[in-house]
Amino acid sequence: MSDRGIPRREFVKSAVAIGGASALAACLDRGSPDIPTGTTNGGSLPERQHAWNDVLSTDDAGNPVAPRHRVLLLLDYTGDVPTSDDRETVENALRSLERAYEWSDDGLLFTLSYSRAYFDRFDAGPEGVDLQRPEALASFENPELDTPDAVLHLASDHGSAVLAAEEAVRGNADSANGVDTTGFGDVFDVVDRRTGFVGAGLPAENDDVDGVPSGEVSEDAPLYMGFKSGFKGNQASEDSVTIQSGPFADGSTQHVSNIELNVDQWYEQDSRYQRVSKMFCPAHADDGLVEGVGNNLGQSSAMGHCEAPEKAARNSGVVGHSQKMTTVRDESNSPLILRRDFDSTDGGHAGLHFVCLQRGIGEFVKTREAMNGSDLSENSAVGQRNNNGILQYMNVTNRGNYLLPPRSARALPTPTGVPE
């Protein structure tokens, strides 16, 4: 494969989307980044698989910066009731990744989660966890409901680390980052592979797919829609999404949807005024509060400046996405979900893999209901999707719900955790 004229970063990102040994080899041939290795002392790592924020870098405003390259492996357990041998195989594979890579965005972060369908083999759901089966969450969506047994989420700022970790767990390689590894063997079948990226520059570099016009996405934008996301003030804390008691204490729940984006309309038909109104709120557009992609907003999207969603819908005929989200908060005024989403070119279409964490799936459902704005649509000039946040530009194709167990119960848990 000729790589003449292709900047290195672009090549790495393409390799993640392609996957496999040759993509990894080609990627490493271009010069291996110096990636820190991990620890042989698994006990030194946090019990929460989702404890990422402490090790993520932060931007100038202090917001955690999401790892740039991602792979989701959807897995089916090949056995019936999990055996202790299979548990050991899974646990050993994950420990070998922890030895190969530092637990950080500069190394590798990962989580392994399990669906309600996985627990069907035990005739019981996970104890003390709100793990609903996935369902369509709006009358205008018709998603495929994903039921793999498990999902492995791999994340790193280095595309090569994500690729090498995938090759290791699949058993296609016996080392990663110069450290010996072991794979999942025949314990899991990979039933789907989803890839992507998030962070300034990457959406702009990946604009040669359907659903996004070339040359329109800002170089500064972390996501295709062209605005900053992941403001600290708009995210739940890791503490608040963590399960507090029971066998899965220190775990969380995870929703994974795939959303096809059509931002052709967003960029070629909407004006900047409309984009700011629909993403943030009409007051932000009226008052020019958002500069560029919105880095000027700091740690929050300044929702205090916006009217209540009902008022904006009645008086401005439009309601912003973030504005609707302000209505779903817990008793300490914190959002209910922690977004860990990323964009994608899977299937040659611009897309978003919406990965988010919350204490129970019901909290995600509540959040999504607020995003639908059905009450606003029935009582104002705002439409079912027209001028109703960013619903116009999204088509949800898949939904799946998972339990993200604590690290000590991450290998093929039973409804009461992992047997001693």
Q: Return residues touching another protein (CB under 8 A).
A: 138-140, 142, 210-211, 260, 262, 264-265, 268-271, 273-274, 277-278, 282, 313-318, 347, 349-350, 374, 377-387, 392-393, 395
Q: How far is the CB of 165 from another protein (least distance, A)?
A: 30
Q: How far is the CB of 63 from another protein (least distance, A)?
A: 29
In 248-302, DSSP assigns E strands to 252-261
Q: How far is the CB of 68 from another protein (least distance, A)?
A: 25
Instruction: Please say which residue, 256 or 391, places its beta carbon nearer to another protein.
Output: 391
How many other C-beta atoms are found inside a 10 Å radius of the C-beta of residue 208? 11
Separation between Cα atoms, residue 106 and residue 163, nearest integer Å: 14
How many other C-beta atoms are found inside a 10 Å radius of the C-beta of residue 200? 18
Instruction: Please say which residue, 227 or 231, places its beta carbon nearer to another protein.
Output: 227
Q: How far is the CB of 377 from another protein (least distance, A)?
A: 4
Instruction: Please say which residue, 30 or 314, places its beta carbon nearer to another protein.
Output: 314
Chain centroid, CA 34 distance in Å: 26
Q: How far is the CB of 366 from another protein (least distance, A)?
A: 18
Instruction: Please say which residue, 284 or 407, places its beta carbon nearer to another protein.
Output: 284
Listed in sequence order, the residues at least 6 apart from 12 whose beta carbon sits closer than 8 Å to its beta carbon are: 27, 30, 69, 158, 159, 160
Q: What Cα–Cα distance (Å) separates residue 207 from each residue in 66, 72, 279, 368?
A: 20, 21, 20, 27
Residue 5 exposed, middle or buried by CB count within 10 Å (0-12, 13-18, 19+): exposed
Instruction: Please say which residue, 15 or 390, places its beta carbon nearer to another protein.
Output: 390
Separation between Cα atoms, residue 97 and residue 170, nearest integer Å: 12
Q: How far is the CB of 277 from another protein (least distance, A)?
A: 6
For strand 179-180 and strand 351-358, is the pairing parallel, antiparallel, or unpaired?
unpaired
Instruction: Please say which residue, 233 or 347, places its beta carbon nearer to another protein.
Output: 347
